[in-house]
Copies of this chain bind each other. A is one copy, B any other.
Amino acid sequence: MASWDRAAMMPPKGSEARAQALAEMDALLHRMRTDPGLVALLAQADGEPLDDTARSNLREIRRDWKSSNALPPALVEAKSLATSRCEHAWRRQRPDDDWAGFLLNLREVVRLAREEAKYLADSSGLSLYDALMDQFEPDMTSVEVSSTFGDLQTWLPGLIRAVRDKQASEPVIEPVGPFAKVAQRALSLEVMALLGFDFEAGRLDESAHPFSGGVPEDTRLTTRYYEDDFVQSLMGTIHETGHARYEQNLPRECLGQPIARARSMGIHESQSLSFEMQLGRSAGFIARMAPLLAAHFGAQPAFEAGNLQRLLTRVEPGFIRVDADELTYPAHVMLRYSIEKRLIEGEIEADDIPLLWDEGMASLLGVDTSGNFNDGCMQDVHWGAGLFGYFPCYTLGAMYAAQWFAAMRRSTPELDARLFAGDFAPVFDWLRVNIWQQASRWTTAELTQRASGERLNPLHFRRHLQARYLGVGPR
Residues of A participating in the B interface, judged by any CB pair closer than 8 Å: 1-2, 5, 9-14, 16-18, 21, 28, 198-203, 214-218, 255
Contact = CB atoms under 8 A, between A and B. Distances in A.
Nearest to A10: B218
A33 to B, nearest CB: 15
A12 to B, nearest CB: 5
A416 B182 CA distance: 43
Most buried by B among A10, A198, A202, A218: A218
A16 B217 contact: yes
B200 A12 contact: yes
A5 B10 contact: no
Given A5-B5, A14-B215, 13 more contacts: A1-B5, A2-B2, A9-B9, A10-B218, A11-B200, A11-B218, A12-B200, A13-B201, A14-B201, A14-B217, A17-B216, A17-B217, A17-B218
A13 B217 contact: yes
A9 B203 CA distance: 8
B215 A11 contact: no
B202 A17 contact: no
How many copies altogether?
A: 2
A215 B28 CA distance: 20
A12 B201 CA distance: 7
A193 to B, nearest CB: 14
A218 B20 CA distance: 13
A17 to B, nearest CB: 4
A194 to B, nearest CB: 18
A201 B11 contact: yes
A26 to B, nearest CB: 14
Nearest to A28: B28
Contacts of A198: 13
14 contacts: A1-B1, A2-B2, A5-B5, A9-B9, A11-B201, A11-B202, A12-B200, A13-B198, A13-B217, A13-B218, A14-B214, A14-B215, A17-B218, A17-B255
B18 A218 contact: yes
Contact of A1 (B2, B11, B12, B200): B2
Nearest to A18: B218
A256 to B, nearest CB: 8
The 9 closest A-B pairs by CB, nearest first: A14-B218, A13-B201, A17-B217, A13-B200, A14-B217, A12-B200, A17-B215, A11-B200, A13-B217
Nearest to A202: B11
Contacts of A11: 199-203, 218
A218 B9 CA distance: 10
Contacts of A203: 9, 11
Contacts of A1: 1-2, 5, 21
